[in-house]
Amino acid sequence: MSEQSSENSLEKDVIDELGDDRLHELAGLLGTDPSGAQDVVGSTVSALSGGLRERADEGPEGAREVRDAIAEAEAPPLQGVATLGGLASGGLLAGLLAKMSRPVANAVAKKTGLPAANVARGIEMLIPVVLAVMSKRAARKR
């Protein structure tokens, strides 16, 4: 599957995971309509995917960070007391996406013309959805 096709599929999965109610909630948070919110989802998914690729291309440390984060997201969920640390930290991939959120918000705001602060709040709402979609995809691979 090509990178573009993979991003489009990820975008569709994120929009499906959001559902109509949360897409409308996102639109309200962004100060736009549902179509504008879908544009933000697409731009965000593309920017986050690109950011992960760029980080992986930065050298051995970046590649290891991305590889470890994705491997953790693909691992079967822990059970019982072992899950407490994961909940507190949000996991490696969540941390990596959170680090990328400010530059992504600025890029998406520039592309869409929406206020950067609104886009940043929207991305905060989208990161858990993106993580859920990636976890579901990983579970299907297992």
pLDDT tens, residue by residue, 71-120? 777 666 554 444 444 433 458 888 888 889 999 999 999 999 999 999 99
> What one-character-per-residue DSSP string does 9-41 give?
HHHHHHHHHHHHHHHHHHHHHHTS-HHHHHHHH
Burial of 109 (0-12, 13-18, 19+ CB in 10 A): buried
Q: Can you tell me the distance from the alpha carbon of 56 to that of 62, in angstroms, rounded to the nearest whole number?
A: 5
* Full DSSP string of 120-142: HHHHHHHHHHHHHHHHHHHHHH-
CA-CA-CA-CA torsion sign (114, 6, 133, 102): negative
Q: What is the DSSP letter of 80?
A: G
The alpha carbons of the chain give a radius of gyration, in whole angstroms, of 15
Nearest to 119 by CA among 41, 18, 20, 19: 41
Q: What is the pLDDT of residues 29-77, one digit of tens each?
A: 999 999 999 999 999 999 998 888 998 899 999 889 888 887 777 666 5
Give me the sign of the Cα torsion angle 49, 50, 51, 52: positive
Q: Which of 121, 101, 119 is nearest to 110 (CA)?
A: 119
For the full predicted model, state whether its pTM sits above 0.95. no
The pLDDT of residue 87: 37
